[in-house]
Amino acid sequence: MHNKRMNDSMRQLYSAEEIPVLEAREKRRRAVCLAAAGVTLAVCVACCLLANTANMSLMEGTAIGASILGGWFVLYTRKFRLLDTRHELAHLRRMLDGDKAELTGEVQLTGERLRIKNSILVYPVRLADAVRPRLLYVSAVRGEEFRKALGGGKKRLAMQLVSNFITAWSEAEAAECAAAGAGTKAETAAGASSRNTEAESTGAARPAGAGREDV
């Protein structure tokens, strides 16, 4: 109940509705790659079959030119269109299917976006006040609003994570209000045991929210 209310107030970065869109895009781009490769090969083979003594140089030049240009097109399309879509789709599925954790803390963008090998473009996000240094990531494509919300500085946010990727977020004050409205309170993970000890000693034990951390 608490988690649902938290999630409702959060901006979700990933949606299952995107899967068919990405799948269609991947199919389309794969078809373009295959068609380009097929046409290139057909042109080269046609040049071989139509070559005779009179036009041999022309046919050879045409075949080489078609092979180079067609190959460049296929290589570029595959690398920067098709693979991008595949990585995006795989990443989306991982985020939707992965184990979710929730975290509230002060975050800051650390620098320029980077590409995770064989995956997507991301912005690295540092937990500014973490007890232990921790780096999170937000998708560069989906996280524009997130990036603008942070601006150049730090901000306290409530976030949902899957494998250190931010999948949902909201302003921390709004999240804590939602949590208060649901009748549960956040717990500090790092000091959980000491607080519990202290709380027990003062007779005010707090129930732990499942999977929640407050840094």
* Smallest gap from residue 53 Cβ to other proteins (A): 5
Which residues sit opposite 106 in a β-bridge?
156
Burial of 175 by CB count in 10 Å (0-12 exposed, 13-18 middle, 19+ buried)? buried
If the CB atoms of residues 83 and 192 are measured against other proteins, the closer one turns out to be 83
3-state secondary structure of 16: coil
**Positive or negative torsion for Cα 199, 204, 209, 210:** positive
Q: Do residues 186 and 179 make contact, with C-beta atoms less than 8 angstroms apart?
A: yes
If the CB atoms of residues 83 and 96 are measured against other proteins, the closer one turns out to be 83
Q: In sequence order, what are the residues at sequence separation of 6 or more whose Cβ sits closer than 8 angstroms to the Cβ of residue 7?
A: 160, 168
Instruction: State the amino acid at position 122 in one-letter form.
Output: V
DSSP 18-29: HHHHHHHHHHHH
If the CB atoms of residues 71 and 181 are measured against other proteins, the closer one turns out to be 71
Burial of 146 by CB count in 10 Å (0-12 exposed, 13-18 middle, 19+ buried)? buried
* Smallest gap from residue 75 Cβ to other proteins (A): 6
* Smallest gap from residue 70 Cβ to other proteins (A): 9
If the CB atoms of residues 17 and 80 are measured against other proteins, the closer one turns out to be 80
Binding residues for other proteins, rule: CB under 8 A, are 44, 48, 51-54, 56, 59-60, 63-64, 67-68, 71-72, 75-76, 79-80
Instruction: State the amino acid at position 64 in one-letter form.
Output: I
Cα torsion 27, 31, 37, 43 to 10°: value is 180
* Smallest gap from residue 211 Cβ to other proteins (A): 39
If the CB atoms of residues 45 and 131 are measured against other proteins, the closer one turns out to be 45
* Smallest gap from residue 111 Cβ to other proteins (A): 18
If the CB atoms of residues 139 and 160 are measured against other proteins, the closer one turns out to be 139
* Smallest gap from residue 1 Cβ to other proteins (A): 46
